[in-house]
Amino acid sequence: MNNQTKLVRLYLLVLSMIVVLSGCLNTAQPPEVSVPITEQGGQLRVVVNVPTVFASTIAAQSFSYDYNLSTIEATVSMGDQEWTSSVSVTDSQAELVFANLPAGIWSIAVAVRDNEGSRVYAGTGQASIDNATMTQVSIALDLLLGTLDVQVAIPATLDVASATATLINPIGNNIQASLEIVEGIGYASFANVKATTWPIRIRLYDQDQKQIAWGEGPVFVLPDRLTTAQITLVDDQYDEGSLRVDIAWEIPPIAPTGLNAVKQNSTVLLTWHKNPESNVTGYMLYRSDKGSDQMWLVTASIVPYETFTDSDPQLEAGNSYLYWVFAYNDDGLVSPLSSPLEVAL
C-alpha cells in the first residue's frame, strides 16, 4: 500500500468519526421551549361538626317561635382579602372548600344560623396555606350567649321597696340582678348568659329589707339575640307570701344586614337585605354627619320595602354621612341598629 492510499483511508476514517459524533450530539438535545412559570394557589377545606344541643334545649320550648338550624357560613380572610361561602344544614357534618387561595396564614370564622337568620353557634381558627396544596382544618363551635331583659309587674297590693331577679343555675353560680322599679314595673337585664331555659326567681322586699313575697318560673334565653320576658306576679291566696309567675315573651327582630348606597346626583339610594322574620312590617333609617354624635331619623314613617331614597336638601356635596337601618315587627318591637354605612357625596 503506497503512501497516497494510506492518506486517503486516514482521511475517510477521520471524516466518518466526525459524522458519527455530530449525529450523537444532535439527537441528545431536543429543541428548548420557554414555558412561563406561574404560582398556583392552595385549597382550604373547612370541616364543621354541627351540634344538636340547640334543638334539644331551645326549640322544645312552648312558645310561638320555632327555631331550627338552617345555614353554615364560613369566612376566610388574610389582610384585605376575604371570601365567604355557605351551605345548608343537612347533616351533622359539613365541608366548605375555598380554592386558589394565595399562600399565607388565613383566619377562619364560622357561624351556624337558625331559620330566622340569627347566629346560634360560632367558632374561629387559622390555617397555613401553601401553593398547590389542599389544607384541611376543623373548626370547633361554641353556643353563643344571649341577653334577657326582664320586666316585672309588681302587685299594687304589696308595699314593695326593692326587688331582685335571680337566674337559678342548678350546677353552678346563680346570676342575680336588682330590679329598678318605675311606676310599679321592675326592670333588669342579664347580658352574656348561656342560651338555655333558666328558672327565674323574683323576690320582693319591704323598707326593712324583709322578704314579703316571692315567685319562680321558667324563662329562656336565645343565642346571640335579645329576649324580653314580661313577668306578672299574681297573689297566691293558698300560700301566704307566694306569688304565681305569669310570663309573656317579646322577641324583637334581628338587626338588618347588607346596607348599601348608590349616589344619584344630590340624593342617596339606600338598599338592604330583607329581614328573615315573617312578622317584620317595615324599616326606618337614621343619618348623621360623619364625626357627629347626633343622629336624625330620615324616614317620616315606616318603610315597607328594603329600599329608600334620601333626597334631603340638607345633603351637601363634599360631606360624608353615616346611615343605619332598623326593623319593626307587627308587635311594635324594634330591632338593634344595623352596622353603619359611610357615604361620601
- Which of 107, 106, 116, 120 lies closest to 72, judged by CA? 120
Backbone angles phi, psi at 238, to 5 degrees: -95, -5
Give the pLDDT band (50/70/90) at residue 154: confident
CA pair distance 173, 188, nearest whole angstrom: 18
Q: Which CATH number fits domain 146-250: 2.60.40.10, 3.90.110.10, 2.30.29.30, 1.10.3720.10?
A: 2.60.40.10
Strand order in the sheet with 93-101: 93-101, 42-49, 134-139
Rounded CA Rg of the chain: 35
Q: Which grid cell sits at 77?
A: 380572610
Q: What pLDDT sits at residue 39?
A: 54
Mean pLDDT of 30-36: 35
| pLDDT for 224 beyond 60 | yes
Give the pLDDT band (50/70/90) at residue 61: very low
Q: What pLDDT sits at residue 214?
A: 83
Q: Which grid cell sits at 331?
A: 308587635
What is the tens place of the pLDDT at every residue in 189-212?
999 998 888 889 998 998 988 888
Rounded to 10 degrees, the C-alpha dihedral 334/330/187/254 comes to: -40
Q: What pLDDT sits at residue 243?
A: 61
CATH superfamily of domain region 260-344: Immunoglobulins (2.60.40.10)
Separation of CA 80 from chain center: 19
Q: What pLDDT sits at residue 60?
A: 34
- Mean pLDDT in the chain? 80
- Which of 42, 67, 70, 40 lies closest to 56, judged by CA? 67
Mean pLDDT of 78-84: 92
| pLDDT for 20 beyond 50 | no
What is the tens place of the pLDDT at every residue in 225-277?
888 888 887 765 445 555 666 776 667 888 899 999 998 878 899 999 998 88
Comma-separated ranges of CATH 2.60.40.10 domains in the chain: 146-250, 260-344
CA–CA–CA angle 136, 129, 112 (5° rounding)? 50
Q: What pLDDT sits at residue 104?
A: 94
CA pair distance 94, 337, nearest whole angstrom: 32
CATH 2.60.40 fits domain 42-143? yes
Q: What pLDDT sits at residue 30?
A: 33
Q: What pLDDT sits at residue 226?
A: 86
Instruction: Give the whole-number percent of the chain exceeding pLDDT 70.
Output: 80
Q: What pLDDT sits at residue 9?
A: 56
CA pair distance 217, 231, nearest whole angstrom: 9
